[in-house]
């Protein structure tokens, strides 16, 4: 939809940040993107990215973003500071903080830069899997307490979310791999901000391995943006293909890596996160 009557997409409402002065911005959590505790981490990361995108001194497009989830974010207003600490000829380094009532809940760093044509090659090809409309590739219905899940159309090819109610026979999974098609619902053309959020749309791998929900939360998330703005624009509202897995679980933590390809096979982003868990 276009024109003056076009409604604002809930994602744009959730990541809306406005400059107050200098390097300070105001934002507000959005119930549509609530997680079990506080907002969905992906939408917090996207709001931080958007803060840089909207800064008048911003140079280029996102290359990398690291977000550290230092403490819970309460429902309500928050403040972001976005400071360009160094601007080079072709890239720019940012430091960010998200605070509530003066308490730091989230820190981040970002690198933006100008892309240019060079030798190129894709080593990690998109896996060949059944399409999103294939029988058996069913939409995932999240439980009510995961509000943000309702804003994504997630169609799992493999490694779907376990049932909330553990059964007598918990089906532990031999590996932590999920492969799924995903897009915003309602549909929204993908951009760097939504790509950021989708990089965190893979539920904690420990749920899959243990076959049940457990207390778990992202400590640190890093996204590398491979896509150019043109490559992203070419995706429109098509499904992206995502694949996530973990390498090692132990001592209360695990890592989680994810890859996102466009429907045309372009690797758009890779993400890595360190996750805390109990049990």
Comparing C-alpha atoms, which of 227, 260, 235 is closest to residue 126? 260
Task: Kindly give the pairing relationship between strand 216-225 and strand 240-245.
Answer: unpaired
Q: Give dist(CA 153, CA 228) in Å, integer.
A: 24
Considering beta carbons, is residue 45 or 137 the nearer one to a second copy? 45
Residues numbered 203 to 222 that lie near a second copy (CB under 8 A) are 206, 209-210, 219-220, 222
Provide the residue count of the chain. 279
Considering beta carbons, is residue 81 or 185 the nearer one to a second copy? 81
Structure tokens at 188: 């929204």
Residues numbered 40 to 79 that lie near a second copy (CB under 8 A) are 63-64, 66, 68, 70-71
Query: Per CB under 8 A, does 276 bind a second copy?
Result: yes
Structure tokens at 155: 């169609």
Structure tokens at 264: 């045309």
x/- map, 107-136, a second copy, by CB under 8 A: xxx-x-x-xxxxxxxxxx------------
Q: Give dist(CA 226, CA 122) in Å, integer.
A: 10
Q: Determine how many CB atoms are found less than 10 A away from the CB of residue 68.
A: 17
Binding residue (CB under 8 A) for a second copy from 245, 258, 260, 262: 245
Interface with a second copy by CB under 8 A: which residues? 63-64, 66, 68, 70-71, 85-86, 88, 90-91, 93, 95, 97, 103-105, 107-109, 111, 113, 115-124, 175-176, 206, 209-210, 219-220, 222, 224, 226, 228, 245-253, 255, 257, 259, 267, 270, 272, 274, 276-279
């Amino acid at each position: 939809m276009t024109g003056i009557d076009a409604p604002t997409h809930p994602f744009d409402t959730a990541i809306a940040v406005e400059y107050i002065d200098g390097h300070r911005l105001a934002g507000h959590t959005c119930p549509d993107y609530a997680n079990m505790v506080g907002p969905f981490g992906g939408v917090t990361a996207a709001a931080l990215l958007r803060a840089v995108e909207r800064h008048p001194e911003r140079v280029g497009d996102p290359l990398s973003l690291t977000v550290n989830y230092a403490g819970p974010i309460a429902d309500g207003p928050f403040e972001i500071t976005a400071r360009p600490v160094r601007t080079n000829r072709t890239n720019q380094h940012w430091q960010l903080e998200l605070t509530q009532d003066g308490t730091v809940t989230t820190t981040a760093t970002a690198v933006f830069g100008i892309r240019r044509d060079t030798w190129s090659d894709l080593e990690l090809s998109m896996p060949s899997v059944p399409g999103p409309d294939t029988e058996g590739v069913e939409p995932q219905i999240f439980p009510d307490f995961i509000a943000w899940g309702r804003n994504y159309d997630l169609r799992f090819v493999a490694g779907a979310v376990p049932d909330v109610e553990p059964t007598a026979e918990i089906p532990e999974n031999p590996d932590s791999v999920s492969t799924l098609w995903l897009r915003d619902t309602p549909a929204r053309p993908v951009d760097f901000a939504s790509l950021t959020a989708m990089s965190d749309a893979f539920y904690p791998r420990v749920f899959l391995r243990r076959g049940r929900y457990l207390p778990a939360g992202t400590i640190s998330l890093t996204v590398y943006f491979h896509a150019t703005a043109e490559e992203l624009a070419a995706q429109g509202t098509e499904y992206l293909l995502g694949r996530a897995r973990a390498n090692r679980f132990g001592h209360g933590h695990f890592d989680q890596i994810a890859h996102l390809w466009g429907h045309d096979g372009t690797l758009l982003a890779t993400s890595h996160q360190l996750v805390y868990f109990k049990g």
